[in-house]
Chain A
Amino acid sequence: MTTNSRVIEHKRVVEVSSTRKLVVGIVEVLIGLLIYFIFALKTASGALTRFVMTPGGIDQGFMADWILPSKITLTVLAIAALLIGIYQLIRGFGRWTNLMVGICALFLIFGFLVWQAADKQLNLAGMLSSAVLLAVPITLGAFSGILAERSGIVNISIEGMMLMASMVAAIVGSVTKNPWLGLLGGILSSILLALILGVLSIKYKVNQTISGTVINIFSAGLTAFISQKFLQHTPLLNTPKLFPRVPIPGLASIPLIGPILFNQNIFVYLMFVILIVLQLALFETRWGLRLRSVGEHPKAADTLGINVIRTRYMGVILSGLVAGIAGSFFTLGSVGRFDEGMTAGKGFIGLAAMIFGNWMPVGAIGAGMLFGFADAIGSKLSLLGSAIPPQFMAMAPYLITMIVLAGFIGKGQAPAAEGEPYEKE
């Protein structure tokens, strides 16, 4: 079985087209120039940036603050990005192209922070810690997308599933006073919607984008309806208990990494567990091979005796399960209350993360972290009293999503048969 999966792996070698090579190179050079001309030149030469490296409210895993000379740091970042861009233009990084773009994006973000916090102090660790938290629904949304799409079903209703799950989790969690039951309720509601998606797109062969939209509109309407009819004037139904922070003994006291990764709530750990399980299951097991073959070439899979319809239902239902966890995160892991439309497009950003991550769990978590970080920057910088209006900071994740989609989808990496209903002959 492993040899078989290797064969498919080799077919997926990323081929970088010459235009894309050029565009990516230009973008990287531009990032370098931007860091130098906008950030570095506008920074006073003696300015120091102070990054606090321990998040607030933490009692283990302390780390000393970082103090950086702003201008020198910015110049180094600019030169590094320029060099990467020039190498990309001349030779090209081949399969490492996406990684290099990611690194340049990190330079840009880090440079932006150094510039904004020149002569001030910024809690970088706190920002990273909240970035991880903000990345949870996006990453889980991306995992949910991967499960459905690898089986050949485009799931644009992750947003709707998350919204429904977040409301049901809040209600069940409040009534039973038990977050675990709330999580279970959220997951079940999301699976129910996934079943509807499955029946519509697999049995009735409805266009998958439209059946996804049906679920999105339905969820938005029903959650707003129930919220206005019951939740707003019955606080008993909308005060779920939050999952507490659970420090992992030992790991939590590692400086910097401990507080950020190992002193969070259950959802963060679930995200990592699902990452590992999904990555192994998809690429190292017979189950994963079958799921992927149904998404790539259902007719061939059918000929080999794989039940295409059942495999697709399984993919969609698992997708609903993961989306349910993502949705429950909003009410049980973050806010502690259901608000109308509280998912705010995170499901769609999750889909973008999935595409950016090349339909791979490992890639998706990387992209999810990037989006989470962009989100965290907005909220932290408005505290710094930045000159940039908060509305523009709030646009960052959406803009990044668009740039990512525009620049970094190589053709032919999506599962080949996704979006097409399967008809047995």
Chain B
Amino acid sequence: MSEKKKDLGLEILKEINEGQPKDEQSRKPFLGKAGIPLLAIFTGLVIGALLIAVTSQSVYAAFSESVGKGFSAIFNEVGTAYKALFTSAIGDPVRMVKAVGGDDVREIRQAFNPFLESLVQSTPYIFAGLAVALGFRSGLFNIGVEGQLFIGAACATWVGYAVTGLPAWIHMPLAFLAGALGGALWGFVPGLLKAKTGGHEVINTIMMNWIAFRLTEWLLSGPMTREGSGGMPISPLIQKTAEIPQFFPAPIRFHLGFFIALLVAYLIWWLLFKTTWGLNLRTVGTNPRAARYAGLSTTKSIIVAMSLSGALAGMAGAVQVLAVNRSMALGLSSGYGFDSIALALIGNTHPVGVVLASILFGTLRNGATRMMVVSSIPIDIVDVIQAIILMFVAAPAIIRSIYHLRKPKQEEQQVFLSGWGGQS
């Protein structure tokens, strides 16, 4: 009897979650699900180009001569910048073809290095993006990924250098898990506060960010400082046994962490979409009232989701330390935690989408680093582009009116987030 009742509940929950039957979903307009994000990215890049043009002195100089020269200066300026972005993010196609044709192994590696480096840059994004996406799926907005990442990195670093005498196959996973644990703790606290007191996770996670920054600053200049660093906030190098291996000799940094990230993404997909636990979590996220009627515990699901989200963020920090930097400094993250919000939304809070969006953002940031050198355009332009992409993804109606697209028949899936008051 009770078995049957539970099944009925599950069926209802499934219906709430899955929405329309399959055949209606297949009739989606323009490029299917990827249409809006792709147009959003394109529009973001166009606006980025405008920003480059508007802030370029040579463009103004050219316009003062003649309008035609002005426009050619715009194309010149934007072209140089975006060409630098492209070749240093993906690689120079000509060089790649030549390298493959020849038989110099080193040259092949170096020609493909920009692409591999983009994957290196994507790795922390995948973890961080998954962290935010998991939060969104359960109705929580985790802006604290940056802080969780720092704490995770600090824990992984400590295990990485202070624990000695372990074989690599124990030490490396141990350090990585320590990172996940540290992040989980930093996510657990706001989760607990949200579940038990209703303190809004947006503010609490931001406060935890600042606390994490100050704490790591103190750790790195005090208890965890490198000997002989002269007060510089930097940790000792981690043991060889704790390193996540890189596949090729320096300067190519492509490492095993990328594949760990893909594996974790698969695990999260499996958890969310193939287990009852995931179904419950998503129900709490999309429709807390229905979840409560079905007898699900919102309290538990909030705490678990925030801890897991924090653990993913902690892994982002751990992978950077163990695979790339091999020690911890304050410049560990170029804002992965904040970028991950946009990532999760562009990826439609789906693990596959997050991985794709992460690779895109990793590529963008890798390219922008080089673009900063070539055409002295500050790397922060990536943030501006991200904000614009995020805006268009969140408000597809704007994109539709720019490109005169038809409105889809079914309602778009909206991320559910609650106000200050709590969970109803």
Binary flags per residue of B187-200, CB closer than 8 Å to A gives 1, else 0: 00000010001111
Give CA–CA (A355, B421) in the complex, Å.
10
Chain A contacts of B209 at CB under 8 A?
Answer: 345
Q: Is the CB of A405 within 8 A of B200?
A: yes
Judge if A11 is at the interface, Cβ distance under 8 Å. Answer: no
Tier of interface size on chain A: 35 or more
B381 touches A217 (CB 8 A): no
Interface: A260 (CB within 8 A): no
Across the interface, A154 reaches (CB within 8 A) one of B214, B338, B420, namely B420
Q: Are B378 and A225 in contact (CB under 8 A)?
A: yes
Give the dominant DSSP class at B's interface. Answer: helix
Which residues of chain A have C-beta atoms less than 8 A from B415's C-beta? 207, 210
User: Is there contact, CB below 8 Å, between A419 and B218?
Assistant: no
> Which residue of the partner chain, among B203, B214, B382, B397, contacts A391 with CB atoms under 8 Å?
B214
A211 at the interface (CB under 8 A from B): yes
Minimum CB–CB distance for A408 against chain B, Å: 9
Interface hits, B400-424 → A, CB 8 Å: 414-415, 417-422
B386 at the interface (CB under 8 A from A): yes
**Cβ–Cβ contact A214 & B51, under 8 A:** no
Please name all residues of chain A whose beta carbon is closer than 8 Å to the beta carbon of B419 when the two chains form the complex: 154, 414, 418-420
Query: A337 to chain B: closest CB distance in Å?
Result: 18
Query: In whole angstroms, what is the CA distance A154 to B417 when docked?
Result: 12
Which residue in chain A gives the minimum CB-CB distance to B206?
A: A348
B203 lies within 8 A of A352 (CB): yes
Distance between Cα atoms of A407 and B204 in the complex (Å) = 13
Contact with B along A369-406 (1 / 0, CB 8 A): 00000000000000000000101101100110110011
Contacts of B421 in A (CB 8 A): 411-412, 414
**Interface status of A220 (Cβ within 8 A of chain B):** yes
Roughly how many angstroms separate A226 CA and B54 CA in the complex, as a whole number? 11
**How many B residues touch the partner, as a band?**
35 or more
CB distance from A59 to the nearest CB of B (A): 37
Q: Residue A351 at the B interface, CB < 8 A?
A: yes
| CB-CB nearest in chain A for B377 | A229
- Residues of A within 8 Å of B422, CB to CB, are 411
The answer on a CB contact under 8 Å between A229 and B417 is no
B391 touches A355 (CB 8 A): no
Determine the distance from Cα of A210 to Cα of B141 in the docked complex, in whole angstroms: 9
Complex Cα gap A154–B342 (Å): 19
Contact A221 B387 (CB under 8 A): yes
A405 in contact with B204 given A200-B391, A224-B383, A229-B55 (CB within 8 Å): yes
Check B211 for interface membership: any CB of A closer than 8 A: yes
A211 to B394, CA, bound (A): 8
Q: How far is the CB of A400 from chain B (nearest CB, A)?
A: 9
Query: Is there an interface contact between A418 and B420, defined as CB atoms closer than 8 Å?
Result: yes
Alpha-carbon distance A399/B422, docked complex (angstroms): 21
Residues of B within 8 A of A217 (CB): 338, 341-342, 383, 386-387, 390
The smallest beta-carbon distance between B41 and chain A, in angstroms, is 15
Asked if B380 is at the interface (CB within 8 A of a chain A CB), the reply is: yes
Interface 0/1 of A349-379, CB less than 8 Å to B: 1011001000000000000000000000000
Determine which residue in A389, A391, A411 has the highest number of CB atoms from chain B within 10 A of its CB, and name it: A391
Identify whether the interface residues of A are mostly helix, strand, loop, or mixed. Answer: helix
Instruction: Specify the chain A residue showing the minimal Cβ separation from B378.
Output: A228
Q: Is residue A269 contacting chain B, with contact meaning CB distance below 8 A?
A: no
Chain B residue at minimal CB-CB distance from A347 = B206
B206 touches A229 (CB 8 A): no
Q: Are A348 and B203 in contact (CB under 8 A)?
A: yes
C-alpha gap A204/B414 in the complex (Å): 12
Tell me which residues across on chain B come within 8 A of A226, comparing CB atoms.
55
Q: Is the CB of A221 within 8 A of B384?
A: yes
Q: How far is the CA of A213 from the CA of B395 in the complex (A)?
A: 13
> Does B210 sit within 8 A of A, measured CB to CB?
yes
Query: Counting CB contacts under 8 A, is A176 at the interface?
Result: no
Task: Specify which of A220, A229, A230, A407 is in contact with B197 (CB 8 Å cutoff).
Answer: A407
Which of chain B's residues 23-67 have a Cβ closer than 8 Å to chain A? Answer: 51, 55
Q: Cα distance A62–B34 when bound, in Å?
A: 69
The reply to whether B214 and A402 contact each other, CB–CB distance below 8 Å, is no
Known: A405-B197, A409-B199, A418-B420. A214 touches B394 (CB 8 A): yes
Q: How far is the CB of A361 from chain B (nearest CB, A)?
A: 17
The distance in angstroms between the C-alpha atoms of A420 and B418, with both chains bound, is 9
Task: Output the nearest chain B residue to A201 by Cβ-Cβ distance.
Answer: B395
With A206-B395, A207-B417 already in contact, the answer to whether A406 and B199 are too (CB < 8 A) is yes
* In the complex, B296 has a CB within 8 A of chain A: no
Chain A residues near B92 (CB, 8 Å)? none
Q: Closest CB of chain A to B371's CB: distance in Å?
A: 12
The answer to whether the Cβ of B173 comes within 8 Å of any Cβ in the partner chain is no
Q: Which A residue's beta carbon lies closest to that of B376?
A: A229
Complex-state Cα separation, A136 to B395, whole angstroms = 34
Q: Is A285 an interface residue when CB atoms closer than 8 A count as contact?
A: no
Given contact pairs A344-B210, A398-B210, A409-B198, a sample of 11 additional A-B residue pairs in the complex whose CB atoms are under 8 Å apart: A204-B395, A213-B390, A218-B387, A218-B391, A220-B383, A221-B387, A226-B55, A355-B420, A398-B207, A407-B197, A419-B418
A to B CB contacts below 8 Å, 6 in the list = A200-B394, A218-B391, A391-B215, A399-B211, A407-B197, A409-B197
Q: Which residues from chain A sit less than 8 Å from chain B, CB to CB?
A: 154, 156, 200, 204, 206-207, 209-211, 213-215, 217-218, 220-222, 224-226, 228-230, 344-345, 348-349, 351-352, 355, 389, 391-392, 394-395, 398-399, 401-402, 405-407, 409, 411-412, 414, 418-420
